[in-house]
Structure 1
C-alpha cells in the first residue's frame, strides 16, 4: 500500500484530565501516515485520484482545536474515525498525537500515543 505522510501538524487544544489543561490549553502535534493506492493519481496527475492533504489538515484541526476530551487516546480515535469516514481512498491510517508539555513533573521531550486503524 502506498503511503502519504503529514508530519508535525501543530495545534492548540484544551484536552486533558486536569482542569487547568481544559482552561489554559496546550500545544498538540499530530503525525499521520495515510495508506492508499496512489497509482491512479500518479498516472493521471489528477488530485481527484488522491487525498487532498489540505482537507486532511482541516479535518484534524477541527478535532484537535474542537471540544475538549480527557484523553489523547480519544483525540487519536476521533481523528482516525474522521479520516476513514471522510476520505474514501484512505484504507488505513496511523495517527500519532504528541503532547509536548503535559502537566507532569520531570524532564522529557513529550508524551504521545500512536494508533493504527483500517477500513472495516
Structure 2
C-alpha cells in the first residue's frame, strides 16, 4: 500500500465541552494519512490516478473550522469519514490524528490528541 501524508495542518475552531473552548476557540493541529494505490499515478504522472492533497486539506479545514463539535472524537471521525466518502474508489483507508496543543485543563503536558483509523489502513 502507498500513503499520502498531510502533516501538521493547523486550524482554529470552537470545539469542546468547556465554555472557554466554545467561546474563545482554540488552535488544532491535524495529521492525515491516506492509503492509496499510486502505481498508475507513478507510471503516468497524471493526477487523475491519485488523490489531490489540496482537496483533502480543504476538507479538513472546512470541517475543523466549521460547525463546532463537543468531542474531538466526533470531529476526527467526521474528517475521516468525509475523506473516505469523497474518494471511495481511491482511498482504501485513512488515519486522522487531531491534536489540541492548548486545552484549557490544569496540569503539565505537551498536548492531547485523538486518532482514528478507518478502512483498510496498515
For normalisation by structure 1, the TM-score amounts to 0.97
Whether 1:37 and 2:37 are equivalent positions in the alignment is yes
Q: How far is 1:20 from its partner?
A: 1.5
Deviating beyond 2 angstroms after TM superposition, the runs of 4 or more aligned structure 1 residues are: none
Equivalent residue number for residue 23 of structure 1: 23
Q: How many matched pairs? A: 119
Q: How far is 1:107 from its partner?
A: 1.4
For normalisation by structure 2, the TM-score amounts to 0.95
In 2: Cα distance, 1:35 partner to 1:59 partner: 17
Equivalent residue number for residue 100 of structure 2: 99
Q: How far is 1:23 from its partner?
A: 0.8
Structure 2 unaligned segments of length 5 or more: list them. Answer: none
> Residue deviations 1:45-86, cap 9 Å, x none?
000111000000000001000010011100110001100000
CA RMSD of aligned residues (A): 0.8
Structure 1 unaligned segments of length 5 or more: list them. Answer: none
Give the secondary structure class of the aligned counterpart of 1:106.
coil
